[in-house]
Amino acid sequence: MTHNGKTTNIGILGADGRMGAAVIRAIAEHPNARLTAAVTAPQSTELGRDAGVVSGGSEIGVSLSADLKSALNACDVLIDFSAPKAAIDAALILAGTGHSGRCHAMVSGTTGFTKTEDAAFEAAANEISLLRSGNFSPGVTALSALVELATEKLGRGWDIEILEMHHRHKVDAPSGTALLLGEAAAKGRGLDLSQSQVLSREGMTGTRRDDDIGFATLRGGGVVGSHEVRLASSLEMITLSHDAFDRSVFARGALSSALWLVDQPKGLYSMRDVLGF
């Protein structure tokens, strides 16, 4: 996929994280993508090092920097796997009237936002092309569409429970993917997820409400990502599931999304838009 028939210049925010490194490796393998900026936190011990080496590959001539504004002048699209504050800062710079750089598109896989942060972040889509996703796997995107269809067609009488497991280093819970699947289930049922979600259970919880969407979180080992959506009636149960075997599936999905996004008008997009669901 190309941008006006030319190589697309990519910037990475969160370049020394697990996903940032995976995206850098994906860019190195793509004929129409080039890494031109790699941004990390000011306190990172990787500052100044070559981004290719930090990602586990060979030198590519791009050093890790904490200078976000310079990075946004050096790329066509920014791919973000950082933290909520860093992601919001980048979006506000891109959407600001003082930004005259070449970059006006942002793909973000950052999770863990509060409701207020969510609103502030998505407001940037009024001025830039912004694509958000809790998961860039084509399989998860298909799964979310199936979950929405199933909850819509089955209707009331089927309880919805979501189970997710990730590696022991993941810092937020539930995962962005679990919440993405919860949103799909809520949409199919005509519910507001914020009013229906049950994020934990302990003690004397009482009986389950009809419109609850329950979440269960597991952490351990090196699990890349495992998700199940269970729809249970009094007579039967449906389990829709997805397992990721390698983090590269998310990196390749994020890169494909970035190459697609540079040609789109300003607005808010998702992986379903990229894949045509």
Confirm or deny that 155 is annotated as ligand binding.
no
Question: Any catalytic annotation for residue 170?
Answer: yes
Nearest to 239 by CA among 224, 229, 247, 253: 229
Confirm or deny that 111 is annotated as ligand binding.
yes
Tokens representing residue 24 in the block: 């850098």
CB neighbours of residue 5 within 10 Å: 6
Confirm or deny that 109 is annotated as ligand binding.
yes
Confirm or deny that 18 is annotated as ligand binding.
yes
Confirm or deny that 99 is annotated as ligand binding.
no
Give the start-end residues of each E strand in 14-108: 33-39, 64-65, 77-80, 105-108
> CB of 130 within 8 A of CB of 124?
yes
**Cα distance between residue 94 and residue 86, in whole Å:** 12
Is the link from the previous residue into 265 a cis peptide, with omega within 30 of 0? no
Tokens representing residue 238 in the block: 């449906």
Which residue among 3, 30, 104, 166 is the active-site one? 166
**Cα distance between residue 52 and residue 25, in whole Å:** 8
Confirm or deny that 15 is annotated as ligand binding.
yes
Q: Distance of CA 92 to CAs 10, 13, 126, 148, 173, Å?
A: 18, 14, 11, 32, 26
Confirm or deny that 81 is annotated as ligand binding.
no
Which residue among 170, 187, 242, 266 is the active-site one? 170
Confirm or deny that 210 is annotated as ligand binding.
no
- Chain-centroid distance of CA 27 in Å reads 17
Confirm or deny that 151 is annotated as ligand binding.
no
Confirm or deny that 126 is annotated as ligand binding.
no
Confirm or deny that 177 is annotated as ligand binding.
yes
**Cα distance between residue 223 and residue 75, in whole Å:** 32
Confirm or deny that 132 is annotated as ligand binding.
no
CB neighbours of residue 266 within 10 Å: 15
Confirm or deny that 217 is annotated as ligand binding.
no
In angstroms, the first-to-last Cα distance of the chain is: 19
Confirm or deny that 17 is annotated as ligand binding.
yes
Point out the annotated binding site.
14-19, 46, 49, 109-111, 133-136, 167, 176-177
Point out the annotated binding site for (S)-2,3,4,5-tetrahydrodipicolinate.
167, 176-177
Q: Which residues are the active-site residues?
A: 166, 170
Point out the annotated binding site for NADP(+).
49
Point out the annotated binding site for NAD(+).
14-19, 46, 109-111, 133-136
